[in-house]
Copies of this chain bind each other. A is one copy, B any other.
């Protein structure tokens, strides 16, 4: 692959990404992500807009105490207000208080925005750009200039759009970044306008795109191939409306496919992890269809694909999943043939005969028709496989349960659960118990917690090993959402004993019952694994 030189990465997950509907980063989230981005080797991290958001002021205060290893932190602001002096501008005063080595300033390149949004003249806008950058440049180390709406501006008034870039370059900006702010530009439009920009200014040029037209990466690549040296984007493509260019796509496209240098290879192999971290901090489910880093990116569902992949992964994978820290996934589904089941079983370390595989496929299809889903519930799949191959052991039997929720004396809704279980006589006898039955009650802030505690109380008498299990995730999905409260509910529970993590699934019309089934299988799985360890 050719060595096409180095591309500077400018991350704006914390600033533009924070504009995403439904995303609310706390100051702690922002600090955590800044440090993670720094570790990865991003060159610039845009932390926020101190002039617009008190939370961002606090963030920059905190960041003064935290040295970065590699990245340069930048704060963000508009140009000064019209008809004022930069030194009198309140928003710029907040920017200076952030004391970042880099200031990123956005200004208007589209004449319509100058008239309608700023309500000023084309001349005054040029002066706003020039005087803002001239004022800031000696007060920090670098100024990055974001030419907002450059591509839209170039389409309607190319001469003026270029003038705005020149004003920024002449005032001392270190980078001129061409922004497709509305995200609707086409690659050919980006091509024409980028050539004109690179021709007009003597400063390095960057590219900042949005995904409204589903072309953010394509537009980024066009600009880079024409000579842009900086790419702005966000992790997971967070950002206003459809989001910014996704750095998790930009980086592998540039480095793995096109031969540019961006992050180090060992850090590119951490991109999937970074992508999950950002989902977690932004409190969004990780989008499974994301290119490169999504859970589906290397998931092979069709039977033909699965059997081919077992021969040579290149047959249906455009890059090796581990190059970006992702992994191959073979789901269990009603399109799955025997090969998926055999593959899955072998991943789980189970030996399954061909004849059994057929029975398992049939049972999985039947259960999926009822609303089950074994993706994310490997433990339930393993127990099912044990059952159909005659290997499932009965560790305990449940003889009924009740759950009760009411308002307590403090006005809180509280729940308790009573359950009755028994264990095989042999287990009770070995442990020196006079009865194989236990009848217990547990309470908690919700029905699931109450059931979990009652079940633990009952079973720990016989199986002390289960005391270390913790519920780490509890997901509820209402199927057939149109049907309202009587629809089928699927509950996915993830459990951990510190060294092992496992998922179980329960399905029912009743959310209590669905939760209960997933809980019971979680404990059964733990008992099974402990026994295997002891025998192993």
For A510, give its contact among B187, B415, B473 (CB under 8 Å).
B415
Cβ of A428 under 8 Å from chain B: no
- Bound: A286/B498 CA distance, A: 35
Q: Is the CB of A117 within 8 A of B315?
A: yes
For A516, give its contact among B311, B413, B478 (CB under 8 Å).
B413
Q: What's the least CB distance linking A156 to chain B, in Å? A: 10
**Residues of chain B contacted by A258 (CB below 8 angstroms):** 186
Specify which of A258, A368, A512 lies most central, judged by the most chain B CB atoms within 10 Å of its CB: A512
Interface string of A187-222 (1 = CB under 8 A from B): 100000000000000000000000111110110010
- Bound: A187/B225 CA distance, A: 12
**Residues of chain B contacted by A211 (CB below 8 angstroms):** 289, 291
Copies of this chain held together in the complex: 2
Q: Is the CB of B400 within 8 A of A403?
A: no
Nearest B residue (CB) for A452: B485
Interface string of A507-524 (1 = CB under 8 A from B): 011111100100000000
- Bound: A237/B402 CA distance, A: 45
Interface string of A277-308 (1 = CB under 8 A from B): 00010010001111110111111111111001
Nearest B residue (CB) for A252: B213
Cβ of A2 under 8 Å from chain B: no
Q: Is the CB of A22 within 8 A of B401?
A: no
Nearest B residue (CB) for A470: B484
Interface string of A19-34 (1 = CB under 8 A from B): 1111010000000000
Q: What's the least CB distance linking A319 to chain B, in Å? A: 7
- Bound: A220/B331 CA distance, A: 29
For A474, give its contact among B257, B484, B516 (CB under 8 Å).
B484
- Bound: A242/B318 CA distance, A: 11
- Bound: A187/B222 CA distance, A: 10
Q: Is the CB of A312 within 8 A of B116?
A: yes
For A413, give its contact among B280, B452, B486, B508 (CB under 8 Å).
B508
Cβ of A50 under 8 Å from chain B: no
A:435-452 near B, CB below 8 Å: 444-449, 452
Cβ of A249 under 8 Å from chain B: yes
Q: What's the least CB distance linking A369 to chain B, in Å? A: 8
**Residues of chain B contacted by A287 (CB below 8 angstroms):** 287, 289
Cβ of A481 under 8 Å from chain B: yes
Q: Is the CB of B241 within 8 A of A299?
A: yes
Cβ of A86 under 8 Å from chain B: no
- Bound: A302/B368 CA distance, A: 42
Q: Is the CB of B400 within 8 A of A407?
A: yes
Cβ of A166 under 8 Å from chain B: no
Cβ of A410 under 8 Å from chain B: no
Q: Of A39-47, A176-184, A266-274, A344-352, which stretch is located at the interface? A: A176-184
- Bound: A52/B512 CA distance, A: 38
Specify which of A19, A368, A375, A474 lies most central, judged by the most chain B CB atoms within 10 Å of its CB: A474
Nearest B residue (CB) for A186: B257
Q: What's the least CB distance linking A445 to chain B, in Å? A: 4
Interface string of A123-147 (1 = CB under 8 A from B): 0000000000000000000000000
Q: Is the CB of A445 within 8 A of B21?
A: no
Q: What's the least CB distance linking A138 to chain B, in Å? A: 27
Q: Is the CB of A305 within 8 A of B240?
A: yes
User: If A116-B315, A212-B318, A512-B405 touch, does A476 touch B473 (CB 8 Å cutoff)?
Assistant: no
Interface string of A492-512 (1 = CB under 8 A from B): 000000000000000011111
For A335, give its contact among B19, B290, B404, B479 (CB under 8 Å).
B19
Q: Is the CB of A283 within 8 A of B480?
A: yes
Cβ of A18 under 8 Å from chain B: yes
**Residues of chain B contacted by A331 (CB below 8 angstroms):** 21-22
Cβ of A246 under 8 Å from chain B: yes
Q: Is the CB of B311 within 8 A of A240?
A: no
**Residues of chain B contacted by A508 (CB below 8 angstroms):** 413
Interface string of A381-413 (1 = CB under 8 A from B): 000000000000000000011111111000011
**Residues of chain B contacted by A35 (CB below 8 angstroms):** none
Nearest B residue (CB) for A22: B375
User: If A182-B316, A308-B117 touch, does A473 touch B484 (CB 8 Å cutoff)?
Assistant: yes
Give 9 nearest A-B pairs by CB, closest first. A184-B318, A218-B218, A471-B484, A413-B513, A214-B249, A214-B291, A476-B476, A446-B510, A448-B485
Chosen A-B contacts, 14 in total, with CB atoms closer than 8 Å, are A24-B333, A52-B304, A53-B335, A116-B312, A117-B311, A212-B318, A213-B217, A213-B249, A241-B299, A243-B296, A401-B407, A404-B405, A470-B484, A472-B482
A21-B301, A116-B315, A283-B480 given; 13 more Cβ-contact pairs under 8 Å: A53-B335, A112-B312, A112-B315, A212-B297, A213-B217, A213-B292, A243-B289, A400-B407, A413-B510, A446-B486, A446-B511, A447-B510, A472-B482
